[in-house]
């Protein structure tokens, strides 16, 4: 019996190839798959706490930014030729076509938010690095198990790191995006 060679290169796909696979029906309806560095990865299922937190974020951001940004829930974001992810919520630059011709890219995102339950290691690890490399100005991880908000700011595209991290478990976080001032009550982000 021949031993399996772990040193064989992995076959990676591009975002374009990924879309052709989707169009060809390779994935079933309801499959939650994203592409990171050319590798297709199953996304963790959305449990009730995750869904509740995403709803809370949507209810907070949608009315506040209705006239100045697009609030997109679990939509595609292309970070590079081999990465297309589906963050839980994004604030996107307002465009006339509402991104009808192409998915948004890193420079279009004003804020990206991941709600992390079982996905905390990925969201605070590889995704954080990918978002920094793509120049995502502000990235939040709503850490459900620890009831904390990790607020990453000031990306370094070359190192894949953020220069600032603020972790909050209570209080109010003032934010200003597209001339909108918003006071975010940290406790309101988490299910009761």
* pTM of the complete model: 0.92
**46-189, which class in CATH?**
alpha beta
Alpha carbon of 186 to those of 20, 80, 143: distances in Å? 40, 32, 11
Candidates 191, 149, 154, 156; CA nearest to 170 is 149
Task: List the chain residues with pLDDT less than 70.
Answer: 1-6
pLDDT in tens, 96-112: 999 999 999 999 999 99
- Residues 126 and 92: beta-carbon distance below 8 Å: no
Domain boundary assignment for the chain: 46-189
- Note the pLDDT of residue 164: 97
**What are residue 103's DSSP bridge partners?**
none
- Note the pLDDT of residue 5: 62
- Residues 84 and 18: beta-carbon distance below 8 Å: yes
């Amino acid at each position: 019996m021949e031993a399996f060679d772990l040193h064989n290169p992995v076959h990676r796909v591009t975002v374009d190839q990924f879309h052709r696979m989707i169009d060809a029906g390779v994935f079933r309806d309801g499959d939650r798959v994203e592409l990171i560095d050319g590798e297709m990865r199953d996304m963790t299922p959305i449990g009730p706490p995750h869904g509740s937190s995403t709803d809370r974020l949507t209810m907070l951001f949608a009315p506040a930014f209705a006239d100045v940004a697009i609030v997109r829930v679990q939509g595609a974001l292309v970070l590079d030729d081999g990465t297309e992810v589906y963050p839980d919520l994004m604030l996107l630059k307002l465009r006339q076509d509402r991104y009808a011709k192409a998915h948004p890219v890193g420079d279009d995102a004003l804020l990206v938010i991941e709600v992390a339950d079982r996905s905390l290691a990925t969201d605070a690890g590889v995704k954080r690095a990918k978002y920094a490399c793509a120049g995502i100005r502000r990235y939040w991880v709503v850490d459900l198990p620890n009831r904390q908000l990790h607020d990453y700011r000031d990306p370094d595209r070359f190192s894949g790191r953020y220069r600032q991290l603020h972790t909050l478990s209570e209080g109010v976080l003032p934010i200003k995006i597209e001339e909108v001032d918003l006071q975010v009550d940290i406790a309101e982000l988490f299910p009761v």
